[in-house]
A and B are shown apart, each in its own frame.
Chain A
Amino acid sequence: MEKSTYYNPADLAKFGNVADWQPEMGAKFFDYYGEVFKEGALSEREKALIALAVAHAVQCPYCIDAYTVDSLQKGADEAQMMEAVHVAVAIKGGAALVHSVQMMNKAKELSM
């Protein structure tokens, strides 16, 4: 019997099926999605690396799989991919850490 988990790798290939229950919105989303990832002011490789970083920030296993493959296909190497992840980590970590200013403010307010 197939092991039941919240995330099934095979579901990634079914992403397009989300349009089944709302074709109009689904089509609009996927058209937009396709447009976003086309080469523009940023190259396809740069966009794949941004997506990879965001995938880590939002901790989406589907997206991590998809954009690891996409980054490799667009010519990124391991060093670029790991640097992209560190950008996400720096922002996520920084976002937590910057709140410590509030902590410091509050602590100072309450302290002699």
Chain B
Amino acid sequence: MKSLHAQHHALADTSYQLTVLSEAEAAGARLPAFAHKLRESGLLPLRPTELAVMQVNVGKMCNQTCRHCHVDAGPDRTEIMTRATMQLCLDALAQTTIPVVDLTGGAPEMNPDFRWFVEQISALGRQAIVRCNLTIIVANPKYHDLPEFFARHRVRVVSSLPHFSAARTDAQRGEGVFGRSIRALRMLNAVGYGVEGSGLLLDLVYNPSGAFLPGNQAGLEREFKQRLLREHEVVFNNLLAITNLPISRFMEYLLESGNYESYMEKLVAAYNPVAAANVMCRSTLSIGWDGQLYDCDFNQQLDLNVAQNAPSTSVLSTPPPCKTGLL
């Protein structure tokens, strides 16, 4: 499967995605705007809180082409962050007390400077998180020692596994992905990841493999823990249940399958003021592979930058980054 970008698909253009989204909003009063719902909950304007996470997308290159990918990542994407841009991120990080650096992609490990970047983050005493797709660990012998590398730098590993059944996982992430993910999880477990008392955190991310919303996170976690232990002798710490945002390849799936409208209705019906008050964009600074600044990963994928006077990492060195200042 090729990325939308490689297919020259209309949805590869983020302005077209935004048009589709705004048309849905304009289509009828049935789908009120998010801002309208925020106003009803007394949350407008939604202001930033303390900057807690620097999220860095180190590139769109990936060994997988998942059907729901909001980054439109894949083997045919060549955009990756340079070491010079990573250095700017580190310079900015050093001037702040941001405790967590969340590394995402693509498959972040495919960036040739990934390990150097993790070492530098670790040297600054910050917690690194890697959004590891699992299969990268077994994709090539040069990645086989990633579990040991992660453990050495106490990296928190957050990995997607949309289901404990192979069929549902493979339908979303590609043929054979479930089997390879289980192999990678066992390698992570072998060095202590997910094992109680090891201090090495391994969290799994559940996201629905279709046009429906996730159920109760605690219930899903219990189910995943039982099934993965019983059937595959795999352990992990927490399950994070997330909702697919209707952008990029997931938007394509929704439109192609005729589920777009009903999915938007489900999202609107599921509006939760408590969750809205805690959206990640309030405390995240999201940096694109090219150094552009955003307030969350999803806005990054829609090319919705933070304020125009702070467009990229080049402005991060002076003055020190501050979420309030950036917005």
Please list the residues of chain A having a beta carbon within 8 angstroms of any beta carbon in chain B.
39, 43-45, 69-70, 72-75, 77-79
- A73-B208, A79-B165 are known contacts. Are A39 and B213 too (CB-CB below 8 A)? no
B212 touches A43 (CB 8 A): no
B167 touches A78 (CB 8 A): yes
A74 touches B165 (CB 8 A): no
A45 touches B165 (CB 8 A): no
| 11 A-B pairs in the complex with CB atoms less than 8 angstroms apart | A39-B216, A39-B219, A43-B219, A43-B222, A43-B223, A72-B208, A77-B167, A77-B168, A78-B167, A78-B168, A79-B167
Give the CA-CA distance A44 to B221 in the complex, in Å. 12
Q: A73 — which chain B residues lie within 8 A by C-beta? A: 208, 212-215
A17 nearest CB across to chain B (Å): 15
Q: A72 — which chain B residues lie within 8 A by C-beta? A: 208, 210, 212
Q: Which of A69, A72, A75, A78 has the most CB of B within 10 A?
A: A75
**CB-contact partner of B219 in A75, A78, A79, under 8 A:** A75
A65 nearest CB across to chain B (Å): 11
Q: B163 — which chain A residues lie within 8 A by C-beta? A: 75, 77
Q: Which of A44, A45, A77, A79 has the most CB of B within 10 A?
A: A77
A74 touches B168 (CB 8 A): no
Chain B interface extent, by class? 10 to 19
Q: A45 — which chain B residues lie within 8 A by C-beta? A: 215, 219, 223
B263 nearest CB across to chain A (Å): 11
Q: A79 — which chain B residues lie within 8 A by C-beta? A: 165, 167
Give the CA-CA distance A75 to B219 in the complex, in Å. 9
Considering the complex, give the chain B residue whose CB is closest to the CB of A79. B165
B94 an interface residue at 8 Å Cβ cutoff? no
B222 nearest CB across to chain A (Å): 7
Q: B191 — which chain A residues lie within 8 A by C-beta? A: none
Q: B213 — which chain A residues lie within 8 A by C-beta? A: 73
A76 nearest CB across to chain B (Å): 9
A75 touches B223 (CB 8 A): yes
Against A, the Cβ 8 Å flags (1 = close, 0 = not) of B212-237 are 11111001101110000000000000
Give the CA-CA distance A3 to B163 in the complex, in Å. 38
80-122 of chain B: CB within 8 A of chain A: none
B223 touches A69 (CB 8 A): no
B208 touches A74 (CB 8 A): no
Give the CA-CA distance A74 to B218 in the complex, in Å. 10
